[in-house]
Amino acid sequence: MSDIPSELLYTKSHEWVRDEGDGSVTIGITDHAQELLGDLVFVELPNVGDEVEAGADCAVVESVKAASDVYSPLPGEIVAVNEALAEAPEAINESPYAEGWLFRLKLAEQADLGVLLDADAYRALEDAD
Amino acid sequence: MLLFEQSVAGRRAAAQAPRQAVAPDDIPAGQLRATPPALPEVSELQAVRHYTRLSQKNFSIDTHFYPLGSCTMKYNPRGCQEIAALPGFIARHPLAPERHSQGILACFHELQEILKDVTGMAAVSLSPAAGAQGEFAGVAMIRAYHESRGDTARNEILIPDAAHGTNPASAIMCGYRVREIPTGADGDIDLDALAGALGAHTAGIMLTNPSTLGVFDRKIERIAEMVHQAGGLLYYDGANLNAILGKVRPGDMGFDVIHMNLHKTFSTPHGGGGPGAGPVGVSARLEPFLPIPMVGCNGDDYYWLTEKERPQSIGRLSAFAGNAGILLRAWAYARMLGRDGMHRVAEFSVLNANYLMKRLTDAGFQAAYPERRATHEFIITLKREAAELGVNTMDFAKRLLDYGVHAPTTYFPLLIPECLLIEPTETEDRRTLDDFVTIMQCIAGEARETPEVVKTAPHKLPVKRLDDVLAARQLDLRWRPENPPPGSSD
CATH number, domain containing residue A111: 2.40.50.100
Is B473 in Cβ contact with A42 (below 8 Å)? yes
pLDDT over 80 at B215, yes or no:
yes
What's the mean pLDDT in A23-31? 96
Is A66 in Cβ contact with B414 (below 8 Å)? yes
Confidence at residue B490, expressed as pLDDT on a 0 to 100 scale: 46
What's the mean pLDDT in B202-213? 96
Domain count for chain B: 2
Is B469 in Cβ contact with A66 (below 8 Å)? no
- Which helix (H) or strand (E) element contains residue B469? helix B468-473
pLDDT digits (tens, 9 = 90+) for B431-456: 999 999 999 999 999 999 999 999 99
- B475 touches A: beta carbon within 8 Å: no
pLDDT over 70 at A1, yes or no:
no
Enumerate the β-bridge partners of residue A119. Answer: none
Residues B100 and B199 in one domain: yes
Find chain B residues with C-beta within 8 A of A64's C-beta: 468-469, 472
Confidence at residue B484, expressed as pLDDT on a 0 to 100 scale: 67
Q: Which of A41, A68, A129 sits opposite B472 (nearest CB)?
A: A41
Write out the residues of chain A at the interface with chain B, using a CB-CB cutoff of 8 A.
Answer: 36, 38-39, 41-42, 62, 64-68, 90, 129
DSSP string, B263-331: HHHT-----TT------EEE-GGGGGG--B-EEEE-SS-EEEE-TTT-TT---B-SSTTSSHHHHHHHH
How many Å apart are CA A39 and CA A36, to the nearest integer?
A: 9
Find chain B residues with C-beta within 8 A of A36's C-beta: 417
Name the least confident of A48-57, B117-126, B244-253, B271-280. Answer: B271-280
According to DSSP, residue B121 is labeled -
Percentage of chain A modeled with pLDDT above 90: 83
What's the mean pLDDT in B184-202? 96
Q: Among residues B337, B360, B394, which one ends one of the domains?
A: B337
pLDDT over 60 at B489, yes or no:
no
Is B414 in Cβ contact with A64 (below 8 Å)? no
In a domain, B54, yes or no: no
What's the mean pLDDT in B419-428? 98
pLDDT over 60 at B378, yes or no:
yes
In a domain, A129, yes or no: no
Is A39 in Cβ contact with B469 (below 8 Å)? yes
In a domain, A68, yes or no: yes
**Contacts for B327 with CB less than 8 Å, ≥ 6 apart:** B107, B108, B111, B126, B262, B277, B279, B321
> How big is the CA angle at B307 (ends B303 and B312), to the nearest 5 degrees?
120
In a domain, A65, yes or no: yes
Residues B282 and B313 in one domain: yes
Find chain B residues with C-beta within 8 A of A38's C-beta: 411
How many Å apart are CA A56 and CA B446, to the nearest integer?
A: 45
In 3D space, the residue among B47, B51, B52 whose CA is nearest the CA of residue B12 turns out to be: B47
Confidence band (pLDDT; 50, 70, 90) for B98? very high
The residue with greater pLDDT, A84 or B27, is: A84
In a domain, A7, yes or no: no
Q: Which domain holds residue B275?
A: 79-337
In a domain, B17, yes or no: no
Q: What predicted TM-score, i.e. pTM, was given to this entire model? A: 0.90
DSSP string, B175-231: T-EEEEEPBPTTSSB-HHHHHHH-STTEEEEEE-SS-TTS---TTHHHHHHHHHHTT
Q: Which of B165, B417, B469 sits opposite A64 (nearest CB)?
A: B469
Burial of B431 (0-12, 13-18, 19+ CB in 10 A): exposed
Confidence band (pLDDT; 50, 70, 90) for B488? low
- Which helix (H) or strand (E) element contains residue B48? helix B44-56
> Is the ipTM above a cut-off of 0.85?
no
In a domain, B92, yes or no: yes
Confidence at residue B474, expressed as pLDDT on a 0 to 100 scale: 87
Answer yes or no: are the C-beta atoms of A76 and A107 closer than 8 Å: yes
Nearest-CA distance B383 → chain A (Å): 11
How many Å apart are CA B151 and CA B200, to the nearest integer?
A: 10
Q: Which of B165, B417, B469 sits opposite A36 (nearest CB)?
A: B417
Sequence letter at residue A102: L
Is A64 in Cβ contact with B472 (below 8 Å)? yes
Residues B230 and B260 in one domain: yes
Confidence band (pLDDT; 50, 70, 90) for B58? confident
The residue with greater pLDDT, B36 or B327, is: B327
Tell me how far CA of residue B407 lies from CA of B56, B322, B401, B417, in angstroms.
Answer: 18, 31, 6, 17
Q: Most A CBs within 10 Å: which of B161, B392, B411, B465, as the mutation test of the A interface?
A: B411
In a domain, A79, yes or no: yes
The separation between CA A58 and the C-alpha centre of its own chain, rounded to angstroms, equals: 10
In a domain, B251, yes or no: yes
In a domain, A128, yes or no: no
Mean pLDDT of chain B: 94
pLDDT over 70 at B487, yes or no:
no
How many Å apart are CA A120 and CA A9, to the nearest integer?
A: 10
pLDDT over 60 at B135, yes or no:
yes
Q: In what order do the strands lie in the sheet with B257-260?
A: B123-125, B280-282, B257-260, B233-238, B202-207, B156-160, B177-181
pLDDT digits (tens, 9 = 90+) for B323-355: 999 999 999 999 999 999 999 999 999 999 999
The separation between CA B323 and the C-alpha centre of its own chain, rounded to angstroms, equals: 14
Q: Where are the alpha helices (DSSP H) in chain A?
A: 31-37, 90-94, 119-128
Query: What is the chain B residue with the closest CA to A88?
Result: B473
Domain count for chain A: 1
- B363 touches A: beta carbon within 8 Å: no
Confidence band (pLDDT; 50, 70, 90) for B43? very high
In a domain, B478, yes or no: no
What's the mean pLDDT in B399-420? 94
Q: Most A CBs within 10 Å: which of B179, B420, B469, as the mutation test of the A interface?
A: B469
> What is the number of CB-based contacts under 8 A between chain A and chain B?
23
Residues B413 and B429 in one domain: yes
Sequence letter at residue B98: E
Q: Which domain holds residue A112?
A: 13-122
Mean pLDDT of chain A: 93
How many Å apart are CA A29 and CA A31, to the nearest integer?
A: 7
Residues B328 and B350 in one domain: no
In a domain, A1, yes or no: no
- Say how many C-beta atoms besides its own lie within 10 A of residue A126's C-beta: 17
In 3D space, the residue among B231, B59, B61 whose CA is nearest the CA of residue B156 turns out to be: B231
In 3D space, the residue among B163, B173, B246 whose CA is nearest the CA of residue B212 turns out to be: B163
Find chain B residues with C-beta within 8 A of A67's C-beta: 165
Confidence band (pLDDT; 50, 70, 90) for B486? low
- B86 touches A: beta carbon within 8 Å: no
Confidence band (pLDDT; 50, 70, 90) for B367? very high
